[in-house]
Amino acid sequence: MSPYLSAIVLTKNEERNIVDCLQGLSWADEVLVLDSGSEDGTVALAQKMGARVERRPFDNFPRQRNAALELAQGEWVLFVDADERVSEELAGEVRKAIIQGGADGFWVPRHNYIFGRLIRHAGWYPDYQLRLFLKAKGRYDESREVHELVILDGLEGYLDNPLIHYNYDDIGQFIERQNRYTEMEAAYLFRGGARAKMRNFILQPYREFRRRYITLQGYRDGGYGLLLSALTAYYEGVKYLKIWRLQRRRA
């Protein structure tokens, strides 16, 4: 028999995404939605789709994910974001992987659609995420509040079929999220001892643009690759500006 698998989705005000997301998870033994105070129709729609809905106030992403792990009933867990979709091919591969074993956790590639276009370069593919793992073998690092990291006590494997990720709809959404992400990332780096120097405001954005556009071949995505490489470089500079502001407050 196939091991029991819980598919987990964290939500807050995901009314526009939740139905499509959960439709792609109907094959899982349990679908668990952990909601952090939605004010729209997210909860009602999730319940209508047959998901088990639990509620928890949001403090940060890794703690929210660890709380969901405690609530999940499955031996295996698969984390899926509300703006991600699981294809039939990926669902079949997940089932096959947990039956055959061979690893305690699996990295899943992602297809990122940004501004309505599939981006294949500039670091946006394969964009592996450790999302499928044995519940008893994985925990999220609670010191890392953005781009959460799974600490896996065991062997790692890789899947071939990608999650479909409808990432940023437009530049406004990109800017809004990056402002939040850089705030959290700056605080994390500052706590770890990072300090901003004048050269960081030039060298870090330059290195990030070169890495994205040249090394990771962002140029192959045309104007989209150029724009995304420039935006990520800009926010690399913003991150160091926020570290510098933290330094000033502590001075």
pLDDT exceeds cutoff 90 at 2: no
- Number of H-type helices and E-type strands within the chain: 7, 13
Token digits for 72?
Answer: 């999940």
Per 3-state DSSP, the chain is made up of helix, strand and coil in percentages (nearest 5) of 45, 20, 35
Measured over the CA atoms of residue 149, residue 154, residue 157 and residue 163, the dihedral's sign is negative
CB 26 within 8 A of CB 2: no
**What's the pLDDT at 144?**
85
Percent of the chain with pLDDT over 90: 95
CB 240 within 8 A of CB 195: no
Each residue's pLDDT tens digit, 113-135: 999 999 999 999 999 999 999 99
DSSP letters, 28-87, are: SSEEEEEES---SSHHHHHHHTT-EEEE---S-HHHHHHHHHHH---SEEEE--TTEE--
pLDDT interval class at 96 (50, 70, 90): very high
pTM of the full predicted structure? 0.92
**What's the pLDDT at 109?**
98
**What's the pLDDT at 143?**
87
Q: Report the pLDDT averaged over residues 213-240.
A: 98
**What's the pLDDT at 234?**
97
Q: Which domains does the chain have, with CATH numbers?
A: 5-166 (3.90.550.10), 171-250 (no CATH)
| 15-to-11, 136, 220, 223 alpha-carbon distances in Å | 9, 31, 34, 31
**What's the pLDDT at 147?**
83
Which helix (H) or strand (E) is 236 found in, with range?
A: helix 222-250
Phi, psi (rounded to 5 degrees) for 2: -70, 140
pLDDT interval class at 101 (50, 70, 90): confident
**What's the pLDDT at 187?**
93
Would you give the DSSP letter of residue 157?
Answer: E
Q: Report the pLDDT averaged over residues 133-156.
A: 94
Token digits for 60?
Answer: 């940060």
